[in-house]
């Protein structure tokens, strides 16, 4: 029988203050054993998606092999087991982000869908002509475009808080943009393009003083930081499974229960109803009224296994180790004269963006791939922040707890190879 937590592939355990056993962790990720272009794979594209531990792969396989059935409403054994496994993950997610109750957790396809859900339910019902939505320059497209669409639908106005040359939100400028017309503030927890960690407590407190609701895009934060939505007092929080070592096609939306109760459904269909006639439909209780149709059951179970794995290691220990990696990488690349780092905030997570003088980032990415190193090049679905630095693209290395200092040294050596190729 499938469960979201399985001891057969338990993560390496250690005392809270002990160093990570990185080599043991790496053995849990089968993809890291391969070679690319004759070199051991160095995977430094974790901000785009993370790799999956064997425990996640096994959880998904066991669901399909042993418990595959549609959830809810079924009375046969397979359906009951699948439903139990699925709903246990809701509790796992609740605890992972510090929500008050599991009913505040809505499963969606992605963080992007979670943001669109809020824009088209809460936004369409609460925002009107002349109201304002406030975002920041460093947002991912998924936290820009849905609000632009909502503004076109309602006549609301989109405002943008600026950042400084280090990639940090200019807090006093943000505060000046807040007013009684501000209805929603939508802000990233960690910038995917820069690695900047935003001062969420201050951002949220200032917004609430003006009566605005706050949505936090936590896609980049969930793998790297301990999250407590109650302590933050955010109204909405979203993240994606695939960034936190789970499968693709699953996301999480957290919303305060009173807001979920008031919001209209996002989609109509099966599961989100209590009763249907040709005259009217009565909607299901939260969170189910926002989960129309058959969900990604296997994906949710895989997410549960991923969160159990991360919890077994400990996010505090993960954050400390990744900070060491980021510090090492920052010094290693900054030592190369032709390399310029983009985004040098005082508080950063495991993202390092850079450009090489006279060489297009795509060429950089192609050469380092020949050395078996995977990095991301382009605008990273964050064109406005790349524009802010007068660029069209950057190269980006992003780290996870299975990366090593030796892999960063390999990246630095590959960058010198780039310079040789284009000399």
Structural domains in the chain, CATH included, are: 33-52+314-417 (3.90.1150.10), 63-311 (3.40.640.10)
Percent composition of the chain: helix, strand, coil (DSSP 3-state, to 5):
45, 20, 40
- 157-194 residue pLDDT tens: 999 999 999 999 999 999 999 999 999 999 999 999 99
Q: How far apart are CA 404 and CA 171, in angstroms?
A: 35
* Closest to 139 measured CA to CA, from 92, 90, 56, 203: 203
Question: What is the model's pTM?
Answer: 0.95
- 43-69 residue pLDDT tens: 999 999 999 999 999 999 999 999 999
Structural contact between residues 385 and 144, judged by C-beta atoms closer than 8 angstroms = no
Series of mean pLDDT values for 10-residue runs along the chain (423 residues): 38 54 98 97 98 98 98 94 98 98 98 98 98 98 98 98 98 98 98 98 98 98 98 98 98 98 95 94 95 97 98 97 98 97 97 98 98 98 98 98 98 97 92
Q: How far apart are CA 323 and CA 331, in angstroms?
A: 12
Q: Enumerate the active-site residues.
A: 381
Residue 5: predicted pLDDT:
37
Query: Residue 420 CB: number of other CB atoms within 10 A?
Result: 9
Residue 18: predicted pLDDT:
64
Residues linked to residue 275 through DSSP beta bridges, in sequence order: 282
Residue 73: predicted pLDDT:
84
Q: How far apart are CA 149 and CA 178, in angstroms?
A: 21
Query: Residue 44 CB: number of other CB atoms within 10 A?
Result: 24
């Amino acid at each position: 029988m499938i469960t979201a937590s399985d001891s057969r592939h338990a993560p390496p355990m250690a005392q809270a203050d002990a160093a990570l056993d990185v080599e043991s962790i790496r053995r849990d990720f089968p993809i890291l054993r391969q070679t690319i272009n004759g070199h051991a794979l160095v995977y430094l594209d974790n901000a785009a998606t993370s790799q999956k531990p064997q425990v996640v792969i096994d959880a998904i396989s066991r669901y399909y092999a042993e418990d595959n059935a549609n959830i809810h409403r079924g009375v046969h054994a397979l359906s009951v087991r699948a439903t139990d496994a699925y709903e246990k993950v809701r509790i796992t997610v609740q605890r992972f982000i510090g929500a008050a109750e599991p009913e505040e957790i809505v499963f969606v396809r992605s963080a992007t869908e979670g943001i669109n859900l809020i824009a088209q339910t809460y936004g369409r019902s609460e925002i009107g002509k002349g109201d304002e939505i406030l975002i920041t320059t460093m947002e991912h497209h998924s936290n820009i475009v849905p609000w632009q669409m909502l503004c076109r639908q309602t006549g609301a106005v989109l405002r943008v808080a600026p950042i400084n040359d280090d990639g940090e939100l200019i807090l006093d400028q943000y505060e000046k943009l807040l007013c009684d017309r501000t209805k929603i503030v939508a802000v990233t927890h960690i910038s995917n393009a820069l690695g900047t960690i935003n001062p969420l407590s201050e951002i949220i407190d200032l917004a609430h003083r003006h009566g605005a609701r706050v949505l936090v895009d936590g896609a980049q934060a969930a793998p790297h930081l301990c999250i407590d939505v109650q302590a933050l007092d955010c109204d909405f929080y979203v993240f994606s499974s695939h960034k936190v070592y789970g499968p693709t096609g699953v996301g999480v939306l957290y919303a305060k229960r009173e807001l979920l109760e008031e919001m209209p459904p996002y989609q109509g269909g099966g599961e989100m109803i209590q009763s249907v006639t040709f005259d009217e439909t009565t909607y299901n209780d939260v969170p189910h009224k926002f989960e129309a149709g058959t969900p990604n059951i296997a994906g949710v179970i895989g997410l549960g296994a991923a969160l159990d794995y991360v919890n077994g290691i400990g996010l505090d220990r993960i954050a400390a180790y990744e900070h060491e990696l980021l510090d090492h990488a920052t010094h290693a690349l900054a030592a190369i004269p032709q390399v310029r780092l983009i985004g040098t905030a005082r508080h950063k997570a495991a993202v390092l963006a850079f450009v090489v003088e006279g060489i297009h980032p795509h060429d950089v990415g192609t050469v380092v791939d020949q050395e078996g190193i995977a990095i991301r090049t382009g605008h990273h679905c964050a064109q406005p922040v790349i524009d802010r630095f007068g660029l069209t693209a950057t190269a980006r290395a992003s780290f996870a707890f299975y990366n090593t200092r030796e892999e960063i040294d390999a990246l630095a050596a590959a960058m010198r190879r780039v310079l040789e190729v284009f000399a």
